[in-house]
Structure 1
Amino acid sequence: MRRFTEGFHGYAVALFVCLAGAGLFLLVTPQSREEHIPRLDYTITVANFGHQVPYGVWAPRQDPPGWVPNSNRIAKGENGAQVLYLGYATAKRQHVMFAQSNERPAAGFASRMANSDKATGTQQIGGVTWEQRHREDKNQRTLVRVLPDVTLVITGTADWPELGELAAQLQQRPQG
């Protein structure tokens, strides 16, 4: 029996037993080949944001088909303004973020979110005109809509039609 616990042969047998055990463990452990993106409900965050700001909050009526909401938060912006962020993985698995704030001047907020202050065009969505901004070196497209009391920004790596899908779902909720 000592022969198996000493010398090179003992080492080789111990290594083989360990590798066989690890292989057997990997073989019987269930493995999912499906992508898993955590889904985070944002309804409470949107409601809390609505209690903090003096205007009706904008939020999607429903998420576009195949989109997964995966992040949300409320943060302080410039000059004490509040900012609501809702993040998504789109149906094409690109990243999109919807942000809104009553920060003034609105152009500063929009430029920071878009990483650009240059409009590259406009896009009509549901009868409403959104300003387009494109930052090619970051593969970032942004839609901006400046309203009297709030600035809406939809930005990310998604293409223009996907950004438009989210913009089409936005509606203003009653204040308070």
Structure 2
Amino acid sequence: MRRFTEGFYGYAVALFVCFAAVGLFLLITPRSQGEHIPRLDYSITVANYARTVPYQVWAPVKDPEGWTPNSNRIAKGEGKAQVLHVGYATKARQHAMLIQSDEKPAAGFASRMANSDKPVGTQDVNGQQWERRFREDKNQRTLIRFLPDVTLVITGTADWPELGQLATALEQRPKPAAP
């Protein structure tokens, strides 16, 4: 019995027992076969943002089919402006983000969010013209809509039709009542 607990044979038996335990563990442990993209609810962030800005906020009424909201935040912009970010993984597993602010100048804000100041055309979304910008080295497409009180930016690696889907889902939310 002593020869299985010492020397090479002892080492080989211990190694075999360890591998058998790991193999059994891997065999009985459930594993997910698909990717997991965390879903983050943005409704509270949008409501909090709406309470801090002097204009009606734009947000999706319903998320596009197959899209997963996976990030949201309120950031500080230039000149004390608030900036709302709502990010998505699209159905094609690309990235798209809605960004909005009343930061002035609006053109500077839009250029910073698009990483480009050069329009490459327009895109019609529900009868409204959105400006297109494209930054090739980052594979970043951007739709921009300049409104009198807010600038809407939809940007990401998603293709133009997907960005248009997010723009189509947007509606102006009523301003929350003051407490």
Tell me, yes or no, whether TM beats 0.5.
yes
Matches within 5 A, 1:32-47: 32-47=32-47
Pair 1:173-2:179 in alignment: no
Equivalent position of 2:76 in the other structure = 76
Q: 1:28, 1:67 → 2: CA distance?
A: 32
Q: CA deviation at 1:87?
A: 0.4
Equivalent position of 1:138 in the other structure = 138
TM-score normalised by L of structure 2: 0.97
Instruction: Figure out how many residues of one structure are paired with residues of the other and give that number.
Output: 176
Where 1:120 maps in the other structure, the secondary structure is strand
Q: CA deviation at 1:175?
A: 2.0
Q: 2:135, 2:116 → 1: CA distance?
A: 7
Q: 1:38, 1:123 → 2: CA distance?
A: 30
Q: 2:89, 2:147 → 1: CA distance?
A: 26
Matches within 5 A, 1:22-101: 22-101=22-101
Q: CA deviation at 1:139?
A: 0.6
**2:100 corresponds to which letter in structure 1?**
Q
Q: 1:78, 1:71 → 2: CA distance?
A: 22
Percent identical among aligned pairs is: 74
Q: CA deviation at 1:43?
A: 0.6
**1:82 corresponds to which letter in structure 2?**
Q
Pair 1:5-2:10 in alignment: no
Q: Indicate the RMSD between aligned Cα atoms, in angstroms.
A: 0.7
Equivalent position of 2:18 in the other structure = 18
Q: For structure 2, list consecutive stretches of 5 or more residues without a partner in the other structure.
A: none
Deviates more, 1:1-10 or 1:78-87: 1-10
Deviates more, 1:125-134 or 1:33-42: 33-42
**2:42 corresponds to which letter in structure 1?**
Y
Q: 2:27, 2:108 → 1: CA distance?
A: 55
Q: 1:163, 1:169 → 2: CA distance?
A: 10
Q: 2:101, 2:74 → 1: CA distance?
A: 10
Q: CA deviation at 1:52?
A: 0.2
Q: 2:105, 2:34 → 1: CA distance?
A: 44
Q: 1:137, 1:119 → 2: CA distance?
A: 16
Q: CA deviation at 1:39?
A: 0.6
Q: 2:122, 2:2 → 1: CA distance?
A: 81
TM-score normalised by L of structure 1: 0.98
Q: 2:80, 2:2 → 1: CA distance?
A: 75
User: After the TM superposition, which parts of structure 1 deviate over 6 Å for at least 4 consecutive aligned residues?
Assistant: none
Q: For structure 1, list consecutive stretches of 5 or more residues without a partner in the other structure.
A: none
Equivalent position of 2:164 in the other structure = 164
Q: 2:58, 2:65 → 1: CA distance?
A: 19
